[in-house]
Amino acid sequence: MNFLSIFVLVPALMMMGLYVSKTRKQIQFVTATGASILMILSGVITYMYLSERAAGNMAEMLFTADTVWYAPFNIHYSVGIDGISVAMLLLTSIIVFTGVFASWKIDPLPKEFFLWYCLLSIGVYGFFISTDMFTMFMYYEIALIPMYLLIGVWGSGRKEYGAMKLTLMLMGGSALLLVGILGIYYQSGATSMNILEIAKTTIPIQAQYYLFPLTFMGFGVLGAMFPFHTWSPDGHASAPTAVSMLHAGVLMKLGGYGCFRVAIYLMPQAAHEMSWIFLVLTGISVVYGAFSAIVQTDLKYINAYSSVSHCGLVLFAILMLNQTAMTGAILQMLSHGLMTALFFALIGMIYGRTHTRLITEMSGLMKVLPFLGVSYVIAGLASLGLPSLSGFVAEMTIFVGSFQETDTFHRVLTIVACTSIVITAVYILRVVGKILFGVIQDEHHKHLTDATWFERLSVVTLIIAIFALGSAPFWISNMIGESVLPVVTQLAK
Amino acid sequence: MQYTLLIVLLPLISFIFLGLMDSKLKPKVAGIIGTSVLGIITALSYTAAFEYFTMHKIAGVYERLIPLHIEWVRFTEFLHIDLGILLDPISIMMLVVITTVSFMVNLYSTSYMHGEKGFQRYFAFLSLFTFSMLGLVIATNIFQMYIFWELVGVSSYLLIGFYYTKPSAVAAAKKAFIVTRFADLGFLVGILFLSFYTKTFDFGILTSGNPNVFASTVGVSFMGLSVMSWAMGLIFIGGAGKSAMFPLQIWLPDAMEGPTPVSALIHAATMVVAGVYLVARLFPVYEVYAPDVLHGIAYIGAFTSLFAAVIACVQTDIKRVLAFSTISQIGFMMVGLGVSGYGAHEGLGYMASMFHLFTHAMFKALLFLGAGSVIHAVHSNEMKDMGGLRKYMPITNYTFLIACLAIAGIYPFSGFFSKDEILAATFEFSPYLGGVMSIIAGLTAFYMFRLYYSIFWGKGHKHAHDHTPHESPLAMSIPLIFLAVVTIFAGFIPFGHFVTSDLANYDIHLDMTVAVMSVSIAIFSIGIATLMYRKESKIPNIMGKTFSHLHKSASNRFYIDEVYIFITKKIIFKNISTPIAWFDKHIIDATMDGFAGVTQWTSVKIKGFQSGQVQQYAYIFLLGTLIIAALVLFV
């Protein structure tokens, strides 16, 4: 067992702690401590990673470990991280931490809620530290199942429908994925399912032609790629706050990460030849999601469609197949994760007070909820790409990177994707103007109370992270940039 | 000159401090902090300007200094965003303009905004704006400029929407942001094109005149225009958005919903000239590699100027008159740049444009602050609520008059000199364009004096509030007086010694024919305005009736706003977004639901086979056996 597995171990210990806790106080203690430890751990791992790199360790993955798990099928439990995983671990820790505080007073069944919540985090953490495709897939499934219960039990509105839809569509995606993974394994002729091993082999091009679309689509479903995105609005709308945060903030990133790590890394030839199909689809996602968001009236739907647009940009940039755009894609994953989590947290908090998410039923909330209002504006500004907030750096890296592709097809698509910055501004300002500004219409809204301390903690943590990424992007973009390099070299072969 | 960093940083610190403390601070303290920070940086920029213009001239040519430079984020081998400070004559000039006006506006606001809810927030936003605008002008590279360009846009959004409970202010803020964002899209794509071919964002490299930088653009063209024309044209769209050039001018009049000092600072003196500054910054590139775009800029500037001047003649809201006058004057600056060449005398237009930017900032800020003082006194923006105020508000009256004379171009006020140089340069470029610009100058004099007489002369009307209007307090009159003094004397600054297209000295010579002509036109127009508006007269009504068509169209701003509403509401909302949302719900999502439905239907249909009834199984078993037996026997 390698020390990376501690990221999986801590949530597991949290589950045990939760199992024995009786009162809400104890539950809160266990989750808060666990989440804080995870935060610290991801800080430590970042430091370790950077100092190792600074010491000149240029291995593709650091801190690797490999244990045979099930010898007959060559299944290994192998872990290792590069700059991208480190970035994702940081993101996950921040979201898990803030998610805990956002659902501080979750009702009913707090214990069960957090048990499933921890299981979900095990899946996500495990996914990011795995280098073995099978382990990865297993963790992916672990992350998927709790989602169904979390939405189905603690959700709101049409929660059974939303939960079912989300789980079934993602399961459908993972079915494609399983076929893809097995195909890759057998076609590559490698002796294990370790990605690093398989990358050294060459998968026959005929096989790549069907395996690439399978894996890309499989992960693409999770990345809300058009036309497989419809689970996102309905799923998010009915999910409880923390689950929306974790799902949009981290789980959707599994899609982009997987596309990058498995589909493109292992099948570079097919990526070159078939990227145009997916570029068109993701290009559509970017604009289509943004336009759809303009006319929605439910806050969560707006944010879900905005996620479709932003996550579309992630996959779009990955498919540009050059270092800058891919770096931008990973930055966008971080940035989108943070700001969408902030959005969902705030929407949850506003909903908890006004009992409505319809923008037509709210107005003038800035006056009574100044803290939440200002935070919402900041989240909105991050989303529309204000410099000094995270969205700007990510989007600009993507646009500059995509523009390095000289042919007309890529150029046109890039410019089309650029238009999203205007459309985003339209829907963000529409919402801000409707719900926060103006005069309070609803009498009940005049007596709302602003955020409590745990809500503030959650929101402020996210805002600080957004600011940090947006104002000092250099170290993280360098860290990601050099980790993208192996994939770029693989593509150049 | 490392201390110039402080000029930028102090407002940022002040913003963060005021923003975080917000209502924990007493309003008075917030005002003092905001204003004194501005006072400090104003002093610093004057020091910087003095030091720069006296000490950093080598062989008659000003140096470009880069006292600070860090790499912020790296994209590719060549492309990286840097943050730094670039000091050259135009950026130094802008530092002086921005800090001066901002300081005056801060001081003015301590009194004007007194007692407003959100006073602390107001000063925080002002600091944010000042920070962003300063960052914009000292940018060392085009991407840094874009960064601060966006920040400026947001500060403007926040300040226009300062009265956030007022729906019209919220709508205006949103409109301003989205229209300029749309223009920024052009800017961004332009940057992408430019940087892709030149492999740099850096202004120093782009404007160095080294042809190797542009080597890879040679022969690349798209739809008949060279790639440089595309790039520079797209970049200009960004500038046109911020500087309210036709047809992107629609946001500016609405932006007057913000507090009046904000209009003075952002929508008259500083942010709206960002587009002019952008073109000036990249002027060597425009001049050599995209002359067609540069000439286009001249014509767009001239058209916008004319268009806005005509509208300004019939508006009744005093701030809107000033807004259209701003658009018109920025048109002048654009024309100045557009007709200019590079080098000593060739670069007259460039010099004149920067000069006009400088003088305009001062007298337009003065006009707005004066208007604010008037609005403060009568509690209305409408001309009909004013009249005869000269008796009650002498300081406002005289300072306003000075500004009106300056903008009308009367010797020896500053506007005369700068406008005259622009006209001279334009006449050299094309006599027709020069003629048009002279007519616009005449219109300017006319509408400004229409405004002046309507406010300060004529019979005092019944005021909305019963108390007699009175002069504004000291904190408001000091800025008025200061700016009035600058307006009177700024014309005598030997501007050509400081700012020129090639950084070298140039002595301005007054072109007497142009000067005499423009002054006579101005006096003639003022005469007409005097006739029509000094005392109540029937002429305006008669004129209005005679040209009823023109009058009505101009009052409605030539219906450009209606076109925009049509585009946004009808086309984007109704015909794009709504159908897409419908498609998503009823086609894409319905397909997914359809899969689920089919699965369910199938399972319902076939679940009968799993009934658990033994006799049914036996029956089917028997039937199956019989069929197989029959098949075996008879086939």
pLDDT of residue B465: 52
Q: How confident is the model at residue B633 (pLDDT cuts 50, 70, 90)?
A: confident
CB pairs under 8 A between A and B: 127
Residue of B nearest to A477 (CA): B73
A464 within 8 A of A382, measured Cβ to Cβ:
no
Q: Sign of the CA dihedral A44, A47, A52, A53?
A: positive
**DSSP 3-state of B244:** coil
Average pLDDT, chain A: 88
Q: How confident is the model at residue A331 (pLDDT cuts 50, 70, 90)?
A: very high
| A404/B76 touch (CB, cutoff 8 Å), yes or no | yes
| B75/A437 touch (CB, cutoff 8 Å), yes or no | no
| A292/B581 touch (CB, cutoff 8 Å), yes or no | yes
Task: With beta carbons under 8 A apart, name residues in chain A contacting B82.
Answer: none
Element housing B284 (H / E): helix B283-289
More confident residue, B502 or B479: B479
A392 within 8 A of A313, measured Cβ to Cβ:
no
pLDDT, tens digit (0-9, with 9 covering 90-100), for B565-602: 777 777 777 788 888 888 888 888 888 888 888 888 88
| Helices B414-429 and B474-489, axial angle in degrees (round to 10) | 40
CA dist A286 and B162 (Å) reads: 32
Q: How confident is the model at residue B550 (pLDDT cuts 50, 70, 90)?
A: confident
Q: How confident is the model at residue A357 (pLDDT cuts 50, 70, 90)?
A: confident
According to the 3-state scheme, what is the secondary structure of chain A?
A: CCHHHHHHHHHHHHHHHHHHCCCHHHHHHHHHHHHHHHHHHHHHHHHHHHHHHHCCCCCCCEEEEEEEEEHHHCEEEEEEECHHHHHHHHHHHHHHHHHHHHCCCCCCCHHHHHHHHHHHHHHHHHHHHECEHHHHHHHHHHHHHHHHHHHHHHCCCCHHHHHHHHHHHHHHHHHHHHHHHHHHHHHHCCCCCEHHHHHHCCCCHHHHHHHHHHHHHHHHHHCCCCCCCCHHHHHHHHCCHHHHHHHHHHHHHHHHHHHHHHHHHHCHHHHHHHHHHHHHHHHHHHHHHHHHHHHCCEHHHHHHHHHHHHHHHHHHHHCCCCHHHHHHHHHHHHHHHHHHHHHHHHHHHHHHHHCCCEHHHCCCHHHHCHHHHHHHHHHHHHHCCCCCCHHHHHHHHHHHHHHCCCCHHHHHHHHHHHCHHHHHHHHHHHHHHHHHCCCCCCHHHHHCCCCCHHHHHHHHHHHHHHHHHHHCCHHHHHHHHHHHHHHHHHHHC
Which pair of tokens denotes residue B628?
């197989």
CA dist A245 and B338 (Å) reads: 52
CA dist B422 and B437 (Å) reads: 9
Backbone angles phi, psi at B247, to 5 degrees: -95, 25
Q: Which of A366, A418, A426 sits opposite B185 (nearest CB)?
A: A418
- Which residue type is seen at A151? I
A208 within 8 A of A239, measured Cβ to Cβ:
no
**DSSP 3-state of B114:** coil
pLDDT, tens digit (0-9, with 9 covering 90-100), for B309-366: 988 888 888 888 999 999 999 999 999 998 888 877 788 888 889 999 999 999 999 9
Task: With beta carbons under 8 A apart, name residues in chain B contacting A401.
Answer: 75-76
Residue of A nearest to B164 (CA): A437
| A386/B154 touch (CB, cutoff 8 Å), yes or no | yes
Q: What average pLDDT does range A328-342 have in this prediction? A: 92
To the nearest whole angstrom, how far is the Cα of B578 from the nearest Cα of chain A?
A: 6
To the nearest whole angstrom, how far is the Cα of B193 from the nearest Cα of chain A?
A: 8
To the nearest whole angstrom, how far is the Cα of B78 from the nearest Cα of chain A?
A: 11
CA dist B150 and B147 (Å) reads: 5
| A400/B75 touch (CB, cutoff 8 Å), yes or no | yes
Task: With beta carbons under 8 A apart, name residues in chain A contacting B581.
Answer: 291-292, 295-296
pLDDT, tens digit (0-9, with 9 covering 90-100), for A202-251: 888 888 888 899 999 999 888 888 888 888 888 888 888 888 888 888 88
| B151/A386 touch (CB, cutoff 8 Å), yes or no | yes
pLDDT of residue A230: 86
| B178/A437 touch (CB, cutoff 8 Å), yes or no | no
A335 within 8 A of A397, measured Cβ to Cβ:
no
Q: Which of B76, B188, B584 sits opposite A418 (nearest CB)?
A: B188
pLDDT of residue B100: 92
Q: How confident is the model at residue B462 (pLDDT cuts 50, 70, 90)?
A: low
Residue of B nearest to A291 (CA): B577
* DSSP letters for B73-86: EE-SSS-EEEEEEE
Task: With beta carbons under 8 A apart, name residues in chain B contacting A433.
Answer: 170-171, 173-174
Q: What average pLDDT does range B255-277 have in this prediction? A: 89
A315 within 8 A of A402, measured Cβ to Cβ:
no
pLDDT of residue B227: 85
* Burial classification of residue B85, based on how many CB atoms lie within 10 Å of its CB (0-12 exposed, 13-18 middle, 19 or more buried): buried
Domain boundaries, chain A: 3-492
Q: Which of A299-308, A332-341, B65-74 shows the lowest mean pLDDT across its residues?
A: B65-74
Task: With beta carbons under 8 A apart, name residues in chain B contacting A415.
Answer: 189
The CA-CA-CA angle for residues B421, B427, B431, to 5°, reads 160
- Which of A168, A332, A422 to mutate against chain B (most B CBs within 10 Å)? A422
**Residue B464, pLDDT above cutoff 60:** no
- Which of B79, B151, B217, B584 to mutate against chain A (most A CBs within 10 Å)? B584
pLDDT, tens digit (0-9, with 9 covering 90-100), for A121-153: 999 999 999 888 888 898 998 888 888 888 888
Q: Tokens 């797209």 — which residue?
A: B234
Cβ neighbours of residue B253 closer than 8 Å, sequence gap 6 or more: B320, B323, B324, B557
CA dist B366 and B264 (Å) reads: 8
List of E strands, B536-619: none
Task: With beta carbons under 8 A apart, name residues in chain A contacting B593.
Answer: 165
Of A83, A91, A84, A154, the C-alpha closest to A117 is A154
CA dist B548 and A347 (Å) reads: 52
The string over B287-320, giving b where at least 16 C-beta atoms fall within 10 Å of a residue's C-beta and e elsewhere, is bebbeebbbbbbbbbbbbbbbbbbbbbbbeebbb
pLDDT, tens digit (0-9, with 9 covering 90-100), for B134-174: 999 999 999 999 999 999 999 999 999 888 888 888 888 98
Cα–Cα separations (whole angstroms), residue B562 to B26, B313, B327, B450, B557:
44, 20, 19, 27, 9
pLDDT of residue B515: 84
The string over B233-268, giving b where at least 16 C-beta atoms fall within 10 Å of a residue's C-beta and e elsewhere, is bbbbbbbbbbbbbbebbbbbbbbbbbbbbbbbbbbb
To the nearest whole angstrom, how far is the Cα of B76 from the nearest Cα of chain A?
A: 6
Q: What average pLDDT does range B599-628 have in this prediction? A: 85
| B581/A386 touch (CB, cutoff 8 Å), yes or no | no
CA dist B181 and A426 (Å) reads: 9
Average pLDDT, chain B: 86
Residue of A nearest to B190 (CA): A415
Task: With beta carbons under 8 A apart, name residues in chain B contacting A323.
Answer: 76
**DSSP 3-state of B50:** helix
Task: With beta carbons under 8 A apart, name residues in chain B contacting A422.
Answer: 178, 181-182, 185
| A438/B178 touch (CB, cutoff 8 Å), yes or no | no
To the nearest whole angstrom, how far is the Cα of A74 from the nearest Cα of chain B?
A: 36
| A291/B580 touch (CB, cutoff 8 Å), yes or no | yes
| B76/A400 touch (CB, cutoff 8 Å), yes or no | yes
CA dist B111 and B533 (Å) reads: 31
Residue of A nearest to B574 (CA): A295
| A291/B596 touch (CB, cutoff 8 Å), yes or no | no
pLDDT of residue B497: 80
| A403/B164 touch (CB, cutoff 8 Å), yes or no | no
Task: With beta carbons under 8 A apart, name residues in chain B contacting A425.
Answer: 177-178, 181
**Residue B203, pLDDT above cutoff 60:** yes
Q: What average pLDDT does range A352-362 have in this prediction? A: 86
| B151/A324 touch (CB, cutoff 8 Å), yes or no | no
| A397/B75 touch (CB, cutoff 8 Å), yes or no | yes
Of A117, A127, A148, the C-alpha closest to A12 is A117
Q: What average pLDDT does range A163-182 have in this prediction? A: 89
**Residue B543, pLDDT above cutoff 80:** no
Which pair of tokens denotes residue B348?
């007259």
- Which of A295, A307, A363 to mutate against chain B (most B CBs within 10 Å)? A295
Cβ neighbours of residue B133 closer than 8 Å, sequence gap 6 or more: B98, B102, B148, B152, B155, B270, B271, B274
pLDDT, tens digit (0-9, with 9 covering 90-100), for B68-114: 888 888 888 888 888 899 988 889 999 999 999 999 999 998 888 88
pLDDT of residue B511: 76
Cβ neighbours of residue B169 closer than 8 Å, sequence gap 6 or more: B160, B161, B162, B163, B257, B258
ipTM confidence score: 0.91
Q: What average pLDDT does range B126-132 have in this prediction? A: 92
CA dist B263 and B241 (Å) reads: 17
Q: Which of B72, B154, B195 sits opposite A474 (nearest CB)?
A: B72
More confident residue, B483 or B511: B483
| A288/B580 touch (CB, cutoff 8 Å), yes or no | yes
pLDDT of residue B470: 75
Residue of A nearest to B576 (CA): A291
pLDDT of residue B393: 83
